Amino acid sequence: MAVKKQPKDLSKMSKRLQNKVIRNAALFVLFLIMFIFSVVNLIRWAVYNGKAENLKDQLIESSFSEIPKDKYANTRDTKKKNPVDFDTLKDRNTDTVAWIKIPGTTVDYPIVQTTNNDYYLHKDFDRKYSTCGWIFMDFKNSAKMIDKNTVLYGHNIKSGIMFADLQMILDNEIEGDVNIEVYTPYEKLNYKVFSSYMTYPDDYAIKSNIVDDETQGAFIREMLDRSETIYNLVPYKTDRVLTLSTCDDSGAKRILVHAVYVGGEIYKY
């Protein structure tokens, strides 16, 4: 008995249907992979953020203790005790050089420094891998905070940790002067912000190798001109500057905050 051949149009329609099913299946698999990848990254992000926040809380609890103002009243010793327990911090991480605290923000961290500016981009204070990284000082700077421009870096983590709150300074959300406190093993250094702005990555703004007053003066004038907020504070060319650097939300630009040293106090050590 002769078998009837399928009409050519029907055969073509069948092949097109098969191809469409294959394409749809491939797209479904691709979207499924993308979905799983996104979920895994989201969970990974949440885990590392949680670990970073817990680590910060641990370090504050174990190594930072505010001293009552009247503790040294009626004594001849004018040198106060350092609220930061650097011995404990250095036992945990020998790269510890200072502690930064910005009142009115969540910035409250020990600062580390190593031989390059890459290591702590993806390492936490315990030197374990972390997408949050840690707050670190430019490797070219002196840990004694005596340079013309000391530069600190930190990620802008959307959950509000590390240097995320530099956005608050940029948006002028802190009332009054913006103060920055930096503690070293030997002293407390007080700074006031005089410039903040957003820009594309710019080596000029994060110079950590300024050595003379004239260069420092030109640097300060440039930072004042760039500032998106007028702080009514003009540093001298002989002043020391602290620069804080982080990414914006997109990662394409940088938020930069510049502060001038305005005094401090010496600690026992």
Length of the chain: 269
Residue 194: pLDDT above 50? Answer: yes
pLDDT band at 66 (very low <50, low <70, confident <90, very high): confident
Give me 5's structure tokens: 């051949």
Taking the C-alpha atoms of residue 19 and residue 32, their distance in angstroms, rounded to an integer, is: 20
- Phi, psi (rounded to 5 degrees) for 183: -110, 130
pLDDT in tens, 23-54: 666 666 655 556 554 544 555 555 568 798 99
pLDDT at 200: 86
At 118-160, the pLDDT tens digits run: 999 999 999 999 999 999 999 999 999 999 999 999 999 988 9
Q: What is the DSSP-derived secondary structure letter of residue 229?
A: S
CB atoms within 10 A of CB 144: 13
Residue 1's identity, in one-letter code, is M
Which one-letter amino acid corresponds to residue 16? R
Question: What is the predicted pLDDT for the residue at 81?
Answer: 87
Q: Which residues of 211-245 are buried (b: 16+ CB within 10 A; e: fewer)?
A: eeeeebbebbeebbebbeeebeeebeeebbbbbbb
Task: Using the predicted structure, report yes or no on whether residue 258 has a pLDDT greater than 80.
Answer: yes
pTM of the predicted model as reported, rounded to 2 decimal places? 0.81
Q: What is the residue-averaged pLDDT of the chain?
A: 85
Cα distance between residue 206 and residue 150, in whole Å: 8
Q: How confident is the model at residue 207 (pLDDT cuts 50, 70, 90)?
A: confident
